[in-house]
Structure 1
Amino acid sequence: MIRLAPLAAAAFCIATAATPALVQSAHYSATPADAPKKASFITQTTVWKCKDGTCVAPKSPMNDKVMCQRVVQRVGALTAFSAGDTAFDAEALAACNERAK
């Protein structure tokens, strides 16, 4: 039993360290107008995690405009969307929101 303690401690450290890594590796950020019903969702092959009214996801080979459209199809209209350090302007966001469910 005592032999398992170091293994359990290592597993706990790895599990808790993975959560901040996801946020740090976020490339996309989306702010839905209405809070999403689920804490996570998938757009094609990209996993999105939502917390405190903002959803984030790692970089994808998908075009940024298409990624935005996929998000609004899952969570509805957005009030903000960014890819990397570039936030969508009002015109790009409005075009994206046209695909909202």
Structure 2
Amino acid sequence: MRTILSASAVVMLALAVPAAAQGQGHYAAVPATAAVGKKLVTRDTIWRCGDGGCSAPKSATRPAILCELLVREVGALESFSVAGTAFDPDALTKCNARAE
């Protein structure tokens, strides 16, 4: 049996889905110094920074490169994660080496 949703039902469903599930916050970072209220663009990725750190939707750029681009803008990071999985300490150290 097939179910057909009306346009209004589709809109309501889309609004009910959390932002993270819609591609927001695939990447998360916590800068060592606050970057609250910043909106940054690194290549093709838009970062939004608030009280809890910075987040960005999924990108075609490799995570290690995204991390390096972000530290150039906000400085060293305390943490960086991709889809909820944190960078290991060695990867984070390598990323933070790019901070200017």
**Same fold, TM-score > 0.5, yes or no:** yes
Check conservation: 1:30, 1:78, Cα contact below 8 A: yes
Letter in 1 for 2:34: A
Please report how far the alpha carbon of residue 62 of structure 1 lies from its aligned counterpart in structure 2 after TM superposition: 0.4
Aligned residue number for residue 96 of structure 1: 95
Q: 1:23 to 1:39 in 2, by over 3 A?
A: farther
Identity %: 46
Long gaps (5+) in structure 1: 1-16
Please report how far the alpha carbon of residue 96 of structure 1 lies from its aligned counterpart in structure 2 after TM superposition: 0.3
Aligned residue number for residue 55 of structure 2: 56
Counterpart Cα distance in 2 of 1:37 and 1:26: 16
Taking structure 2 as the reference length, the TM-score comes to 0.74
Check conservation: 1:32, 1:53, Cα contact below 8 A: no
Letter in 2 for 1:21: A
Letter in 2 for 1:56: S
Counterpart Cα distance in 2 of 1:71 and 1:95: 13
Please report how far the alpha carbon of residue 37 of structure 1 lies from its aligned counterpart in structure 2 after TM superposition: 6.2
Q: 1:55 to 1:23 in 2, by over 3 A?
A: farther
Check conservation: 1:40, 1:47, Cα contact below 8 A: yes
Letter in 1 for 2:49: C
Counterpart Cα distance in 1 of 2:75 and 2:34: 9
| 4+ residue runs over 6 A deviation | none
Q: Tell me the alpha carbon deviations over residues 9-28 of structure 1, each in whole angstroms, 9 at most, x when there is no partner.
A: xxxxxxxx6xx626862100
Superposed CA RMSD in Å reads 1.9
Q: Is the helix fraction higher in 1 or 2?
A: 1
Taking structure 1 as the reference length, the TM-score comes to 0.74
